[in-house]
Structure 1
Amino acid sequence: MTYPRDCWYVAATTDEVGRGLVSRRILGTSVVLYRRADGSVAALDDRCAHRPYPLSAGHLDGDRIVCGYHGCTYDPDGRCVRVPSQDTPPLGARVRAYPVVEHGPFVWIWPGTPGGARLRPPPATPWLAGDGWRSTGEQREVAANFMLLHEHYLDLTNVVTMHPEMVPPGLEALPPLEEVEISELSVSYLRELPGAPLAPWEMLVSGLASSASFGRKETGTFVTPGLHKQTYTIIGPDGPELELVRTHAFTPISPGATRVYLRISWRGAATSDAVGEQLLAVFTQMADRDSAVLETVQRCVDEDSLAADGLAPRRYVNVKADRAGVRARRIVQSMVDDERGR
């Protein structure tokens, strides 16, 4: 499996793209992004049509990119409009321009079939802006396939082993998934935890009394190949006390590497002004451990592939907690097969 192209992926955060040139590797292709004078974002293949040189190594002239090698100049639609060494550019000289949409904190890009972007808008993320929600975040590169990340976050039973400090006191294992909902293109699960005192990190970020017992509700959703959403709600006798949403935008760099855009969103009456910094510290530490494990898994996958050398590939078993991840993988494989015409 590689990755479906007919999908919106995050190319950058909105504050990363300005009047400079930003280069990103997206689904094995180099892309250059910049902001036009009117504030909109343009995205082009990061290769000159004349010779294989990055346009991002050139400069902007108004809304046009000038290649730093021979000076070929491109407008925001990718059309070559000037070649300094001759009167007119070669007929049809151009680079690909990609549809982009700014939505919330993200700049989304459509790397798939030209024209297909009009039929599928980027996923809605209302919790990233307004209605009492506040957000903070970070980004990182993880040397692992994007589906390993999706599967990891669709099975949080690893939390007890990998992140015991995150588990409410008294819980020795997470209860089984109560519900897994599957549609043609998405998968989600629901898990409710029994009442328990607050873990130290929950006390730190929530402002709630440590002596009380609270319930928790956790959900996870494979929204698209480029987006995963998790919610975690601490529930008191009168209803939700603190709502958290952890958003992962997964953008494949290559089959073995992924750029991860992490956003932590929260709302709760008792939270302090410092809660964003505290939450980011908590979940960044988790992401550090997750990344290390997933990069190890990817190395094992690569080693197993090399070791097979014509033999049957090594097989691994699935357990009940893998239900959501297995279905997400089937969805992605089906999308890839459809694009290949199988």
Structure 2
Amino acid sequence: MNYPRECWYVAATIDEVGDNLVARRILGTPVLLYRLADGSVAALEDRCAHRPYPLSAGYRDGDRVVCGYHGCTYDPDGSCVLIPSQDNPPPGARVRAFPVHVSEPFVWVWMGTPGSARLRPPPATPELTSGDGWSSTGERRDVAAGFLLLHEHYLDLTNVFEMHAEMVPPGIEALPPLEEVEISEVSVSYARELPEAPLAPWEAAVSGLDSSEAFSRRETGTFVTPGLHRQTYTISGGDSPVFELVRLHGFTPQTPGSTRVFLQLAWRGTAVATDAGQRLTEVFHVMADRDSRVIETMQRCLDEDEPSRRYVNVKADRAAVRARRIVQSMIEEERGL
């Protein structure tokens, strides 16, 4: 496995989980999600304790789930409370229940050691929940690549000139080097300042700013946890931000070679266009399509490569290399190495 388990991952967005039974694969494990009568969310291993049949193929009985094979019935804590063919369930008949934390729009799930979840709360996403002038929108997609390739891709945006040239402000021909890289035991972040330049068409369309003026910009990227990547993009006029954009990626490994991506965009500004959400969705959906194709191609190349094949790193890879080391350290610690 190439992912740590002692970490919160996004299992779904809250709008995906209702009265229906939602099937997911998270860290190679089948997981069932459903909403309880009190509004909370339950997460169970999506396999009946009796036979290898998915509970998500069954049905609900109030807050309980009934297996569609033999009718074995489970409480939200995973305990089997009814087997129609006998008076009492066998001792210990249960499926694993996973800790869940809801912080809209995300439903987080803990796949690690039971009891450890309370010691490590999920990462905060204040731009999505605090109000304070922020608006947000999002989308989901599956990418046929390991989650680390996604983290590394978004920790190095020097590819923008080749992949997304229309996003670059006029007159900027290269990104400044990463002079600010902050590293801790569990996270890594970078920041760079861009020189003053006129607005790119997409910036003018969403920000409502005067396209004839020049603005400075600050860009940051953070490997927050293995399950979350955070980017910010701030356009400033004078000494004050006039438009702020936050791009959050929930990266949830499904298998070592596939990842479900939860993209959330949040924005605010002094003169934001009324249709900014629609425009941002269109722009970043196209970007994500291109990114996904490249990242999936890299995964196919890695699958085809000889195990001894190595690639070189360059200066722009500083944050990405450190993120990989953090993940490797977490995996080794879990394995007791």
> Given that residues 175 and 193 in structure 1 are in contact (C-alpha distance below 8 angstroms), is that contact kept between their aligned partners in structure 2?
yes
Question: How far is the alpha carbon of 1:237 from its aligned partner?
Answer: 1.6
Aligned to 2:180: 179
Q: How many residue pairs get matched? A: 336
Superposed counterparts of 1:81-160, under 5 Å: 81-129=81-129, 130-160=131-161
1:74 paired residue number: 74
Query: What's the counterpart of residue 252 of structure 2?
Result: 251
Deviation per CA, 1:50-96: give whole Å up to 9, x if none.
00000000000011000000000000000000000000001100000
Deviations 1:115-142 (A, max 9, x none): 0101000001101121111100100000
Contact persistence 1:216–1:233 (CA under 8 A): yes
Counterpart Cα distance in 1 of 2:54 and 2:201: 49
Aligned to 1:10: 10
Q: Output the CA distance in 2 between the equivalents of 1:273 and 1:75.
A: 46
- Number of the residue aligned with 1:273: 274
Residue in structure 1 matching 2:309, options 310, 314, 332:
314
> Cα distance 1:238–1:191, how it changes in 2: closer, same or farther (>3 A)?
closer
Tell me if the contact between 1:142 and 1:259 (Cα under 8 Å) persists in the aligned partners.
yes
Q: Deviations over 1:209-239 (max 9, x none)?
A: 1111110000000000000000000111241
| 3-state SS, counterpart of residue 15 of structure 2 | helix
Rounded Cα–Cα distance in structure 2 between residues aligned with 1:269 and 1:240: 8
- 1:146-295 matches, within 5 Å, as 146-295=147-296
Q: Residue type of the partner of 1:273? A: T
SS in 1 for 2:5: coil
Q: Which amino acid aligns with 1:182?
A: I
Listed as ranges, the gaps of 5+ residues in structure 1 are: none
Q: Is the 8 A contact 1:160 1:174 kept in 2?
A: no
Query: Which letter does structure 2 place at the counterpart of 1:317?
Result: V
2-structure distance, mates of 1:135, 1:222:
21
CA distance in 2 between partners of 1:111 and 1:253 (Å): 12
CA distance in 2, matches of 1:246, 1:118: 27
**8 Å Cα contact 1:101/1:108 also seen in 2:** yes
**Matched residue of 1:202: which SS?**
helix
* RMSD, aligned CA: 0.7
- Give me the whole-angstrom Cα distance separating, in 2, the residues matched to 1:238 and 1:175: 20
- Please name the residue that 2:319 is paired with: 324
The alignment's TM-score, normalised by the length of structure 2, stands at 0.99
Measure how far apart 1:245 and its partner are: 0.1
1:104, CA displacement in angstroms? Answer: 2.1
SS of residue paired to 2:193? strand
For residues 52 and 201 of structure 1, what CA distance do their matches in structure 2 show?
A: 50
CA distance in structure 1 between the aligned counterparts of 2:37 and 2:8, rounded to whole angstroms? 24
CA deviation after TM superposition for structure 1 residue 191, in Å: 0.5
1:38 partner amino acid: D
- Secondary structure class of the residue paired with 1:294: helix
Structure 1 distance, partners of 2:42, 2:310, is: 44
Unaligned runs of 5+ in 2: none
Aligned partner of 2:301 in structure 1 is 300
Looking at structure 2, the residues matched to 176 and 7 of structure 1 have their Cα atoms a distance apart, in angstroms, of 31
1:263 and 1:114 map into 2 onto residues whose CA distance is: 29
- Counterpart secondary structure, 1:301: helix
Contact between 2:205 and 2:273, CA under 8 Å: does it hold in 1?
Answer: no
Q: Deviations over 1:243-296 (max 9, x none)?
A: 000000000000000000000100002012210010011011100000000000
Letter in 1 for 2:108: W
4+ residue stretches of structure 1 with deviation over 3 A? none
Partners of 1:141 and 1:322 lie apart in 2 by 25
